[in-house]
Amino acid sequence: MEIGIYTFGEMTVDLSTGMRITARERIRNLMEEIELADQAGLDIFAIGEHHRPDFAVSSPQIILAAAAERTTNIKLSSAVTVLSSDDPVRVFQDFSTVDLLSNGRAEIMAGRGSFIESFPLFGYDLEDYDELFHHSRFLLQMSVGTMPHKKMLRAIELYGSVVAPAIRKALT
């Protein structure tokens, strides 16, 4: 069993002032929370992705990269990467970089997301919701090298590209 914390970087109201905290304050607090979780011996800290004004984190990979340099043991993960509206190869590359910075502690939790604000923001049609997810999951699995069946292995030969940097875990 693993014990950890996840957050979406909500910009909550400061009870002492009655004002919503700024994105800068929330991210600064978030970095302190991650460091404290590492010092307390928790197993994992995960950060979700939102593209709304009431959330400070639209790119968990950036926060996790900063956290990788400030922590030593805790696993660093997304608390969902909205794969349907992101470039799966870029997701892999970003998390591979976090993995290298953290000495193998990065994890990706990829999914569809329960909010849809990223679809119109990035020019995607919600009619393509399922197709986008399946296509992106396929490309992410190709990048990671976890092919569930031979049909996907043939697709790697068609693409003919190597995705870099490689994740540390795949090299050992």
* pLDDT one-digit tens code per residue, 145-158: 664 544 433 333 33
* CA atoms lying within 13 Å on the CB side of residue 125: 3
Q: How far is CA 55 from CA 105, 134, 143, in A?
A: 25, 27, 29
Q: Which residues contact 164 (CB under 8 A, 6 or more apart)?
A: 93, 96
Residue, of 87 and 37, whose pLDDT is higher: 37
Considering its fold, how many domains does the chain have in total? 1
Give the global pTM.
0.83
The CATH number linked to 107 is 3.20.20.30
Domain limits at 89?
Answer: 4-171
Q: Could you read off the pLDDT of 14-63 as tens digits, one per residue?
A: 999 999 999 999 999 999 999 999 999 999 999 999 999 999 999 999 99
Q: Which helix (H) or strand (E) holds 111?
A: strand 110-111
Q: Which residues contact 26 (CB under 8 A, 6 or more apart)?
A: 9, 10, 11, 56
Q: Residue 143 has what pLDDT?
A: 73
